[in-house]
Amino acid sequence: MTKKGIKMIKSNKIKLQLLLVFIVIIMVWLISNQNQKPNIDSSIQDYVAELKRPENLEETKILIPAITNMVMDADSDVLSGTTLFNPAGNPCYFQFTIVLEDGITIFESQLVPPGKGISEAKLNRIIKEGTYDVIIRITSYDLNDHENEFNGGEIKSVLRALG
């Protein structure tokens, strides 16, 4: 084989290696960007709340619903008598967490966009008949960068499991 032929083979090997490196970089970038989509709760539905955004309220302000009383069937793990919702016009996603007074988390949602709600929340335990003091934690996240956490709030609420 001539020197010219050997140079061509070496040149082609380098080009092939560079092409493979480029393909790997593109694949890694595509896979990492797939994970950057917001994790929207699969149980959301459109929700029109009685809570209306005041006309004089700045667009950057967040409305938090005052869910102070929740009702569900006893001996069930589905909260279906209350809708956890994010008011239309909010500049953020909501994530809901329901915590019993002893600190045990019984529900945590994925992200809920504005104007959407969860009307059937699957709890992580069966709730016996009774009345329970709970905290509803609402964490808010930027609509444009769902990993950017805004402020949140806590609502003291009562959960009634009726038999």
Structure tokens, 109: 């949602």
Q: What is the residue type of 83?
A: T
Q: What is the mean pLDDT of residues 59-67?
A: 85
What are the CB-based long-range contacts (under 8 Å, 24+) for 19-28? Answer: none
Whether the per-residue pLDDT at 25 is higher than 80: the answer is no
Residues 158 and 98 in one domain: yes
In the chain, DSSP finds a helix count (H) and a strand count (E) of 1, 10
| C-alpha span between 124 and 71 (Å, rounded) | 16
Query: pLDDT-derived band of residue 22, with 50, 70 and 90 as boundaries?
Result: low
* Rounded CA separation 97/162 (Å): 21
From CA 116, how far away is CA 49, in angstroms rounded? 9
Same domain, 155 and 76: yes
Query: Do 3 and 68 share a structural domain?
Result: no
Number of domains in the chain: 2
Query: Are residues 91 and 17 part of one domain?
Result: no
85 and 139 belong to one structural domain: yes
Query: What are the pLDDT digits (tens) for 76-87?
Result: 999 987 899 999
Strands 121-127 and 76-79: antiparallel
**pLDDT interval class at 47 (50, 70, 90):** confident
**pLDDT tens digits along 31-41:** 665 556 788 87
List the structure tokens of 147.
């990993």
For 20, the domain range is 1-36
Q: State the pLDDT at residue 157.
A: 96
For residues 120 and 77, what is the distance between their CA atoms, to the nearest angstrom?
Answer: 10
* Residue 99: CATH number of its domain: 2.60.40.2550
Residues 74 and 23 grouped into a single domain: no
